[in-house]
Structure 1
Amino acid sequence: MAARKRTNSPKNQVEVIQENTVTQENTQETKVMRKKQIDLDMLVPCRNVTDGRLIYKSRKTGLQTVWMNHGDIEYMDVGELLTMKASQPKFLNEPWLVIEDEDIVEYLGLKHLYKQLVDTEDLDSFFAKSHEEMAQILDCIPNGTKDAIATRARKMVEEGTLYDNRKIRVLEEKLKIDLSLFEK
């Protein structure tokens, strides 16, 4: 910060500037963020988290990968996952499939999304929760997981294994579905 003084002399006005400088030492360490070197040809297990068949057709190679059922695992290379992320991001962002390798999840920038996922391996544990817990979870999970829960809820209502009216109301409200259509 500079302080200014004015001195008046009969002939000329002279301005004298005094500078007060404060030196601060920057004690913060500079962090260098480096991405891990990832082999783009490395095969990674990818699990279907939809409640049925899932088909991915590569826009790069034209090859299809098919998961027949919920929980099925198919292996894809990292390069293809990058292509999927760029050309058909719903597969990873909804998500319709889950990558089973933490390093690749981090490499693709999906770590924040995976923190919100319900354990899709065992959706039945979700239905065992209280209706209040179900409501809280449904407020923060991605749409793809909501779709899988809605499909499972329909099947459970049809089978007669989901009959708690409080849970059904929460599911209908949060998922915007009508489960009464599927009651026996």
Structure 2
Amino acid sequence: MKTLITGGVRSGKSTYAEGLLADATYLATGVPRDDADWQERVRLHQERRPASWRTLETLDVAAALTATTGPILLDDVGNWLSRTLDALEAWNDETPRRGWQTAYRDARESLVDAIANYEDDLVIVTNEVGFGLVSPYASGRLFTDELGRLNQRIAAVCDQLVLVVAGCPLVIKDGHR
């Protein structure tokens, strides 16, 4: 079964997602940082997971899904998008790199195809950005728009969609693509 878990920052979505799988490969998309707050977030995530879980830190999630078998927890799509747009130099508000859209579209389609074709249990965590304000900055609007579109594409190929609010899961879609 493929399950997409969405919710706001600190909504409890990762904790809920971790509880869905007894054993898994954890695909981490966040980039290691020197930031003490970030390191604390990573440490807390690691402490919650069973010691038997394998962790794979990667931006190439499509390749990891193709090469891995067994249950997977992908955490999270927002970090994947942010790092992908960063690598494509799409953030510059004044002069974004030309052609980034085509490269991004290819990366997005590879990710969605890999999710759709994954044959074992797959739990995917993402951020729900649709409840927030519209950013006054082009880069913020780009991230919000693209994550919203990507979440829709992923939800379409998942069997289940769960919204987590204040630690409480609400099943939005159950068992039907």
Structure number, greater radius of gyration: 1
TM-score above 0.5: no
